[in-house]
Amino acid sequence: MKAKKSETYIFDYEQEFERLERQAGFTAYQLSEELTGFEVESGEVFLDAGCGSGLAARHVAKIQPSAIVEGCDFSAIRVKQAQNRASKERINLRFFESDLQNIQSEDNRYDKIFCRYVFWTFTKFDKLMSEFMRVLKPGGTLLVVDFDGYFTNLDHQNSWLLEAMDEFRVKSKTRIDAFVGRKIPRLFHNAKFEKIDWKVRAVPFQGKDLIDELGMIEERFGFMIPMLVDFFGTEKKAREFASAVCKEIATPGNSLFYNKFIVKGTKPKS
């Protein structure tokens, strides 16, 4: 069955595969930390929801080869690249194209669902959370990881950028949510998950971590210009914003940190 796309994703381009793979090697994005306490047991059915390059699905399939591991994403390019990489590594996985607001899986299929760095791309969550609830088995667990303050948490003294950042926050509200992390526990509560448990950890960027993160942000801004033009009205201002953010990130004395939320909840047994 072909998935129906609800909207497009701003980073749906070829090179995003390599960026996601590279990112997972950086200190701030360690999978092993995120998955602590979420071990997949033998025979369990696992979904990497919004799988991107499929790195989390591959990680789980390597650790637990007797689990049934699947990954889905609404990007046809990502699904193809994820499948190719898994086949190259001879890992037995199934990737499929699907909008998370209409998951192409039967009810009560999964023991565990992992959704990593996807929530920031959503501004409405009802359908997303009800789909997770539908496809989880009773007693199954959902784990969501996302940042709060992605690049917007930067402390600096550039008054032009302070104003532009406020404008960015207001204008971007209908497309992305840089402060989604703090909202995730409530989304679990409203969707009637049980045994909700959440952690939040400050992720600081210094030294090599700062250089790595700045490289990622610069690369992403390269593809975000059309969206920034929508927010700021002109390409000139969009480019000035992107370059001011990068300049201030690199300025000694300024601090960049995000808060990483790791939120878990269980579907009621009845």
Ligand X SMILES: C[S@@+](CC[C@H](N)C(=O)[O-])C[C@H]1O[C@@H](n2cnc3c(N)ncnc32)[C@H](O)[C@@H]1O
Question: Taking CB under 6 A as the criterion, which residues in 120-139 touch ligand X?
Answer: 121
Rounded least distance, CB 158 to ligand X, Å: 27
Query: Which residue in the set 17, 50, 110, 153 belongs to the binding site for ligand X (CB under 6 A)?
Result: 50
Does position 267 interact with ligand X (CB under 6 A)? The reply is: no
Q: How far is the CB of 249 from ligand X (least distance, A)?
A: 19
Two tokens, residue 190: 């409203």
Q: Is 99 in the site for ligand X (CB under 6 A)?
A: yes
Instruction: State the binding string over 17-36 for ligand X (x if CB under 6 A, else -).
Output: ---x----------------
Q: Count of alpha carbons within 13 Å of 13, Cβ hemisphere only?
A: 9
The binder of ligand X chosen from 74, 205, 231, 258 (CB under 6 A): 74
Structural tokens at position 259: 């808060």
Question: Rounded to an integer, what distance in angstroms lies between the CA atom of residue 203 and that of residue 257?
Answer: 5
Q: Say if residue 8 is exposed, middle or buried (CB neighbours under 10 Å; 0-12, 13-18, 19+).
A: exposed
H/E element, 197? strand 194-204
Distance from C-alpha of 253 to C-alpha of 251, rounded to nearest angstrom: 6
d(CA 224, CA 173): 15
- Identify the residue among 19, 59, 78, 264 touching ligand X (CB under 6 A): 78
Q: Which stretch binds ligand X (CB under 6 A): 117-125, 153-161, 227-235, 248-256?
A: 117-125
Name the site residues for ligand X (rule: CB under 6 A): 6, 9, 20, 50-52, 55-56, 73-75, 78, 99-101, 116-118, 121
